[in-house]
Chain A
Amino acid sequence: MEYGLDLEYSFNEFLKGFGLSSEIAHIIWLPLPMLLVLVAAVVGVLVTVWLERKISAAAQQRIGPEYAGALGVLQPIADGLKLLVKEDIIPAKADGILFTAGPILVLVPVILSWLIVPFGQNLLISNVGIGIFLWIALSSIQPIGLLMSGYASNNKYSLLGGLRAAAQSISYEIPLALSVLAIVLMTNSLSTVDIVDQQSGAGILSWNIWRQPVGFIVFWICALAECERLPFDLPEAEEELVAGYQTEYAGMKFALFYLGSYINLILSALLVSILYLGGWGFPIPVELIAKFLNLPINAPFIQVFTASIGIVMTVLKAYLLVFIAILLRWTTPRVRIDQLLDLGWKFLLPISLANLLITAGLKLAFPQFFGG
């Protein structure tokens, strides 16, 4: 089923038209998707920061940013510029090397994980076979960066924040991985493209959310906990820990944490939409629309249409989830650390294990509905 746009192939053919060898064309192609993803991630963060400011303002009956651009849309850029020109301070008693390496270790795995986010059949950087497992593995590196920056700051609040962050992300990784495993069981593949393809049979009716409602809720809770969003923002609980592991950070190093947490939020929303909400799929299958309009599915017009619909649908679903996350942040109180760990170990872990078992049983009983 190889339809859809293959930009890499057409780009390489285009360069070969100028008399370049295929290897050089490939090298020229390589940085383009990486750059595109970086830009997409940063623009996504800017949009999310603006949404966060506006929605929090609405939740608290304020107006929010207003003067920078229409409706304050330029406010996040102003924020970013401010962080760029601020002085880079390393506290005198801090450990300079670890203090600098910490934020990098937090940000890099998150951006690397964008490797596997598909926006269409061929619109992803690399369709690696281990797909979603790569994301789980990469997200487990983050706690090291948090512990590192918490330790290097030489500040008790930072250290406590770092320890909390590590404990939290270790506990919530297990139910997260188990609910992903249930999806993988139904798909017979770890690749994100296969996971979306498996849901594309009957439009909205074949999305995984109907077959995995428990997994969806567990995954969403765990994703919020991994992003350290309220109600799970214990590592940076202002009233208890000043700002947790970020307390001593300023300027661009602080901005790296800030970027990392927002990119992580968008990434989690994208992955929820890929795993449970049909990814790039339109609620009504595009094949049906094409048949209705009497157009062949391989027509160039239909292909461009499918690709743009795919991107729009992925982004739309992701931002719907981001909206819910922001609304949750500004309307719910924070849980205590013991409640957080109880929820993770005594509730989500057994539930996700049971969900996995039931999925396996249903797969054996009804192979046509649960991926045979």
Chain B
Amino acid sequence: MSIALTTQIICFSVLSLVILIGALGVVLLESIVYSAFLLGGVFMSVAGLYLLLNASFVAAAQVLVYVGAVNVLIIFAIMLVNKKEDLKPISDIKSRRIISTSICLTLLSLLIRVDLTNVWSLSSPQNSIGEESTIRIGEHLFSDYLLPFELASVLLLMAMIGAIVLARRDVMSKDISTGLPVDQELIEKSSEPLLTNKN
């Protein structure tokens, strides 16, 4: 066995272990902050798997989008609303757990079946495009995947406009749920000048 192959196997097993344990931790840990940080770790390990598959551009994009944007925003949101309060105990927690576990197991068995029955066309190492993949991805995005690409950008634009409308209070003069007029002042009101009040 060559050294390169050994390294690949070691990397693959470490990454898969981290992904499995991390993903379990995201679901099972009580502390939401730990879950969020573990999610970042899982995203990083997935990027590592992409690297092992010679898809360096996809790996970097995974880090940039999932770790740098999605996970940071999740953590940001958690920390901004981090109230130290105990969650209310749910009465029928046991039956809920059983249902969710069985759904997950069904999905898992489906995936395993797909994996075993499908004939995967593996490209030989000579045919792998490696560093050229960036160019290929660009070509595909602007030819046969143009419509999904543009639709995704329209979707993002809609989400952005929605966020701006929600954040700008002067657009909505009434509260949606109560119908009362909304206080349109800034949250951080400018404080009184310190020096003028002295005399």
Contact = CB atoms under 8 A, between A and B. Distances in A.
A134 interface: yes
Interface in A134-161: 134, 136-138, 140-141, 143-144, 147-148, 150-151, 159
Interface residues of A, number: 28
Contact of B79 (A133, A138, A141, A163): A163
Nearest to A190: B134
Given A23-B2, A133-B57, A144 B131 contact: no
A45 interface: no
A147 B2 CA distance: 41
Interface in B127-155: 130-132, 134
A56 B67 CA distance: 37
B33 interface: yes
Contact of B3 (A23, A134, A159, A166): A23
Contacts of B12: none
A143 B68 contact: yes
Q: Is the interface of B mostly helix, strand, loop or mixed?
A: helix
Interface residues of B, number: 26
A91 interface: no
Interface string A210-224: 000000000000000
Contact of B72 (A133, A136, A150, A170): A170
A173 B68 contact: yes
Given A140-B67, A141-B67, A134 B80 contact: no
Interface string B25-68: 00000000100010010001000000000001100110110011
A144 B69 CA distance: 10
A253 B68 CA distance: 23
B67 A144 contact: yes
Contacts of B69: 140, 170
A130 to B, nearest CB: 5
Contacts of A173: 68
A128 interface: yes
A27 B63 contact: no
Given A23-B2, A140-B69, A143-B68, A133 B75 contact: no
Given A133-B60, A136-B64, A140-B67, A166 B72 contact: yes
Contact of A141 (B61, B63, B73): B63
B64 A147 contact: no
Contacts of B61: 137
27 contacts: A23-B2, A23-B3, A27-B3, A98-B33, A129-B56, A129-B130, A130-B57, A130-B60, A133-B57, A133-B60, A137-B64, A137-B68, A140-B69, A141-B63, A141-B67, A141-B68, A144-B40, A144-B72, A150-B79, A162-B79, A163-B80, A166-B72, A166-B76, A167-B76, A170-B72, A173-B68, A190-B134
Contacts of A148: 37
Contact of B134 (A26, A130, A137, A143): A130
Interface in A34-81: none
A138 B134 contact: no
Contacts of A138: 63
Nearest to B31: A95
A128 B134 CA distance: 12
B60 A129 contact: no
A151 B33 contact: yes
Contacts of A151: 33, 79
B3 A130 contact: no
Q: Would you list the 5 A-B pairs with minimal beta carbon distance, nearest first?
A: A140-B68, A129-B131, A137-B60, A137-B64, A137-B63
A268 B114 CA distance: 47
Contacts of A26: 3
A303 B60 CA distance: 34
A234 to B, nearest CB: 15
A128 B72 CA distance: 26
A148 B44 CA distance: 16
A129 B56 CA distance: 8
A25 B92 CA distance: 63
B190 to A, nearest CB: 12
A162 B79 CA distance: 10
Given A136-B64, A141-B44, 13 more contacts: A23-B2, A23-B3, A98-B37, A130-B131, A130-B134, A137-B64, A140-B68, A140-B72, A144-B37, A147-B75, A163-B76, A170-B69, A173-B68
A140 B64 contact: yes
A27 B67 CA distance: 31
Interface string B1-41: 01100000000000000000000000000000100010010
Contacts of A147: 72, 75-76, 79
A167 B80 CA distance: 12
Contacts of B57: 129-130, 133
